[in-house]
Amino acid sequence: MKGKLVGMNGDRAVAFAAKQADVDVISAYPITPQTIIVETLAEYVNNGELNAAFIPVESEHSALSAAVGASLAGARVFTATSSQGLALMWEILWIAAGLRTTIVMAMGNRALSPNINIHCSHDDAYAARDTGWLQFFAENVQEAYDLTLMAFRISEDHRVLFPSIVNLDGFILTHATEGLYVLDDEDVKAFLPKKKPVNPIDPSKPMTYGPLDLFDWYMEHRRLQYASFMSTPPVIKEVFEEYGKLSGRRYTPVKTFNVEGAEVVLMVLGSSAGTVRYVSRKLAEKGKKVGVVSLTQYRPFPVRELIEALSGASVVAVMDRSVSFGSPGAQLFMDTSTALLKAKRRPLLFNVVYGLGGRDLTPGDVEKIVMKAEEVLRRGESPEEPVWVGVRGEE
């Protein structure tokens, strides 16, 4: 591994990556569990370690609005949020993407109210999934650091020009201290050169941004935005590969573990992947093969890579740390189901809801999911509704 080994929690690792990226503007409104990110960046600016404009705004809506303006002016921009903060930003998420800004935002994933909960669910990540932002999920502190650096490089590429969200599970990663390798400043500078703006705001050359767009052209513009967004995966892969050569850490849109020859596969996002792999490894020692698939790239959804990863599976348990009211399954399950419609051979699918509001996913819980998957395989039929794991009254 290239770089210096240090100990940081996830929030500080993200802030350190933003500092090394030499951001120009930070628009900030603190909300648990991402507060440490913007506090740390404020310290960097105050101490003279980072030459950036730090804008302490009055709300998350203002935070993203300020970020949009700064990005359009040509600045490298960073912000962070969680949960209710993302909900207050929601109007501006669409604007930031539609105006092709290159903002990078860290999201300390947290449950949405009611009731008030400050711990992890993926409600906020899923709330942003259709807005036109690239989305990445970190499984540990190292990935939170690496993905933040890569997000700037990806977003600012002139073949992309879309904002990015880096998701890290609230408290599980935001507040957990782990060892990670940080790159030298000079290596980061070589990997991430200064931003080259496209059509920046210039008072001497007035230009309209976000004009009135009615039925005569709105649909054509949305079609162009969709096509541009769907053309970004090759650039993402390219940046992943280049960063791997620089750091010694390999990134792919879809990660697989023990999938070869496995009829049962568990699919998951975020920090839970480590627990699921642990159980897979333990079951393998007993002669039972259970595969694990996790996503680094959530938006655009990696359809082809996922179809390939699940090509040998007979049954797939799709694990969601969220719930979609009124739907037969939660969000990752819906995405996966839609993606596999294009597969020549489709496995049985069922949805698992787990870990809401920060509830632990234990190895015992994972084994219960495996047992349910084996039952589905025997019956040849998937349950119509999500299977709730780790909740009282559902055991």
**Cβ atoms 29, 108 nearer than 8 A:** no
Domains with residue ranges and CATH for the chain: 4-247 (3.40.50.970), 254-388 (3.40.50.920)
First to last CA, the chain: 43
Q: What is the pLDDT of residue 16?
A: 98
- The one-letter code for the residue type at 60 is E
Name the helix (H) or strand (E) containing 46.
helix 35-46
Q: How many CA atoms lie within 13 A of 140 on its CB side?
A: 12
Q: What is the pLDDT of residue 167?
A: 99
Place of tokens 């350190």: 16
pLDDT in tens, 217-231: 999 999 999 999 999
Closest CA to 164 of 128, 124, 111: 128
Rounded Cα distance between 31 and 123, Å, is: 15
- The one-letter code for the residue type at 235 is V
Respond yes or no on whether the N-terminal peptide bond of residue 258 is cis (omega within 30° of 0).
no
Rounded Cα distance between 262 and 279, Å, is: 14
- Residues (pLDDT < 50) of the chain are none
pLDDT in tens, 298-336: 999 999 999 999 999 999 999 999 999 999 999 999 999
Place of tokens 């999920």: 137
45: burial class by Cβ within 10 Å (0-12, 13-18, 19+)? middle
> SS3 letters for 51-110?
CCEEEECCCHHHHHHHHHHHHHCCCCEEEEECHHHHHHHHHHHHHHHHCCCCCEEEEEEC
CA-to-CA dists, residue 162 to 15, 134, 198, 226, angstroms: 21, 7, 12, 11
Q: What is the pLDDT of residue 394?
A: 67
Could you tell me whether strands 297-299 and 134-137 are parallel, antiparallel, or unpaired per DSSP bridges? antiparallel
Q: What is the pLDDT of residue 395?
A: 59
Enumerate residues 6+ apart whose C-beta is below 8 A from 184: 3, 4
Enumerate residues 6+ apart whose C-beta is below 8 A from 95: 68, 210
Q: What is the pLDDT of residue 199?
A: 86
Rounded Cα distance between 36 and 318, Å, is: 32
